């Protein structure tokens, strides 16, 4: 196990999976460096609320020694789900997503902050955008960054998300568009400023869908509600429609027409939002996505198995990080450790990706279904 101390382990990407890997290794006294293209942990907002499952995400947090701190921040009431009739607004039976019953919610930014706080201040090197990974004659890896600098490593872990710069060293696969786009809107201080919408959404998540159109709203912390209008379209639908995303009235008019005939209270989710709309076309990697074992390099999270955002991706990324850390701790030989990790991760992620694809089709049915 002491051999791990002498490995130069580099993680590319300071998302949840990469930080979990670093946190578990650090907890056991093994150094690791994380390179991140963002300039700081607060460079951008980190997205909405996540349900962290007992058998995956919470297991990873426990491995990092952070489960109790997670519990103190998490919102168990956020597990509540409700479904509304899109025309009448009346409640409909809805069992909710199929996952662990113990899956409290937490804002992605809070969870990322928890992981960052568990690491030494110098563990994450901010503002380092990777451009290429190259192999040196002695078998080690050299990372080239946009600022002209390089770093050498014995193990490079690509945790750099959908458009990974590490992935090409292992696989030619590239994300493909699912045909579904989420258009995000938000409401701040909703209990005070938007009380009727707050009551409609409840403490957790609310869903309404009909004819290939879906509205999904979720509570975040500090009184914020995020809303997603989900539908099948071209990824740049707004260009074809002649609509600028920063032109709120134009986007509202377009979405109101798309959801014509829906309940007026539900349509307020598209008409009264605070701030601009954000276009989020959904991309996925092929499933299965595999690669030949390659010495000194592997992938985790979205870099390895990008799938629709229906509640599994973040949990699996964190579990990937914990599993890889445990393999490295248990096996002195880096190649053997990575192989052990990939034997578990690859089939698990294939099943999850196929399940998520089915869930997306259920959430936003294809127009020919």
Q: Is residue 264 part of a domain?
A: yes
Q: Is residue 257 part of a domain?
A: yes
Retrieve residue 197's tokens: 């919408």
DSSP 187: E
pLDDT at 96: 61
Tell me, rounded to whole angstroms, the distance of Cα 99 from its chain centroid: 17
Domain residues for the domain of 198 are 179-282
- 3-state DSSP helix/strand/coil % of the chain, to nearest 5: 35, 25, 40
Q: Is residue 368 part of a domain?
A: no
Residues 74 and 193 in one domain: no
Residues 26 and 114 in one domain: yes
pLDDT at 5: 56
Q: Is residue 128 part of a domain?
A: yes
d(CA 122, CA 147): 19
Residues 227 and 345 in one domain: no
pLDDT at 302: 98
| Cβ-proximal residues to 95 (8 Å cutoff; 6+ apart), any chain | 81
Total domain count, the chain: 2
How do the pLDDT tens digits run along the chain, 369 residues long?
344 557 899 999 999 999 999 999 999 999 999 999 999 988 777 778 999 999 999 999 999 999 999 999 999 999 999 999 999 999 999 766 655 578 999 999 999 999 999 999 999 999 999 999 999 999 899 999 999 999 999 999 999 999 999 999 999 999 999 999 999 999 999 999 999 999 999 999 999 999 999 999 999 999 999 999 999 999 999 999 999 999 999 999 999 999 999 999 999 999 999 999 999 999 999 999 999 999 999 999 999 999 999 989 999 999 999 999 999 999 999 999 999 999 999 999 999 999 999 999 999 998 764
**Model's pTM, two decimal places?**
0.95
Is-contact 219 78, C-beta < 8 A? yes
Pairing of strands 33-35, 124-125: parallel
Last residue of a domain, one of 257, 282, 307: 282
Pairing of strands 105-107, 49-51: antiparallel
Residues 146 and 166 in one domain: yes
pLDDT at 2: 43
Residues 151 and 201 in one domain: no
Q: What is the CATH number of the domain that holds 116?
A: 3.50.50.60
pLDDT at 311: 85
Last residue of a domain, one of 282, 301, 325: 282
Last residue of a domain, one of 236, 255, 282: 282
Residues 321 and 254 in one domain: no
Collapsing DSSP to helix, strand or coil, 104 comes out as coil
pLDDT at 352: 96
pLDDT at 226: 96
pLDDT at 202: 94
């Amino acid at each position: 196990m002491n051999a791990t101390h002498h490995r130069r382990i580099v993680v590319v990407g300071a998302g949840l999976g990469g930080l979990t890997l670093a946190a578990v290794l650090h907890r056991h006294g093994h150094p690791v460096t994380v390179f991140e293209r963002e300039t700081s942990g607060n460079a951008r907002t980190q997205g909405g609320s996540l349900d962290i499952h007992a058998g995956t995400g919470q297991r990873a947090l426990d491995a990092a020694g952070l489960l109790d701190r997670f519990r103190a921040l998490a919102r168990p009431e956020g597990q509540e789900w409700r479904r509304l009739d899109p025309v009448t607004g009346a409640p409909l039976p809805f069992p909710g997503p199929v996952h662990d019953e113990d899956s409290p919610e937490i804002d992605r930014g809070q969870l990322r902050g928890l992981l960052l706080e568990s690491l030494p201040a110098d563990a994450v090197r901010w503002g380092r955008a990777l451009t290429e990974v190259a192999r040196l004659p002695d078998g080690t890896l050299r990372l080239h960054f946009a600022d002209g600098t390089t770093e050498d490593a014995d193990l490079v872990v690509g945790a750099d998300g959908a458009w990974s710069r590490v992935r090409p060293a292992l696989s030619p696969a590239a994300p493909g568009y699912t045909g579904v786009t989420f258009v995000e809107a938000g409401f701040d201080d909703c209990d005070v400023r938007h009380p009727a919408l707050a009551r409609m959404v409840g403490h957790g998540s609310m869903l309404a869908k009909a004819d290939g159109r879906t509205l999904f709203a979720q509570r975040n912390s500090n009184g914020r509600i995020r809303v997603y209008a989900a539908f099948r379209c071209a990824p740049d639908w707004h260009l074809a429609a002649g609509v600028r995303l920063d032109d709120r009235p134009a986007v509202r008019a377009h979405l109101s027409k798309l959801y014509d005939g829906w309940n007026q209270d539900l349509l307020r989710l598209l008409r009264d939002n605070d701030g601009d709309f954000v276009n989020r076309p959904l991309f996925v990697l092929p499933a299965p996505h595999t690669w030949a074992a390659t010495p000194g390099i592997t992938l985790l999270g979205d870099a390895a198995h990008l799938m629709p955002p229906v509640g599994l991706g973040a949990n699996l990324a964190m579990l990937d990080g914990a599993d890889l850390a445990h393999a490295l701790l248990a096996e002195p030989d880096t190649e053997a450790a990575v192989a052990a990790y990939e034997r578990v991760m690859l089939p698990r992620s294939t099943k999850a990706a196929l399940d998520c694809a089915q869930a997306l089709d259920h959430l936003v049915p294809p127009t020919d279904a």
